Amino acid sequence: MSKNTQKRSFEEMLQRLDVIVRALEKGDTPLEESMALYTEGTELIRLCTARLNDAEQTVVRLQKGSDGAPVESPFPKESEI
């Protein structure tokens, strides 16, 4: 995937992924183009998933609960620090 794709916003990548899915579902795309779209789509899914995981780690952290099991909790706000 190009550096340009990695600089796209999450929303732009989702929009592109939607275009790819619609083209593939339509079923009239030549095989070579379908394979290229599929490859681009899987890379977009990977990048979107990575961005979502990064965002999740920004807003939650793991702490031990009273039973010792991990519990997710939000990071404290700056005013609480």
pLDDT in tens, 58-69: 666 667 677 877
pLDDT in tens, 12-38: 999 999 999 999 999 999 999 999 999
**Distance between CA 38 and CA 19 in Å, rounded?**
11
Domain ranges of the chain: 3-75
Domain 3-75 has CATH 1.10.287: yes
pTM, entire model: 0.68
pLDDT value at residue 62: 67
- Asked if residues 29 and 20 have their Cβ atoms less than 8 Å apart, the reply is no
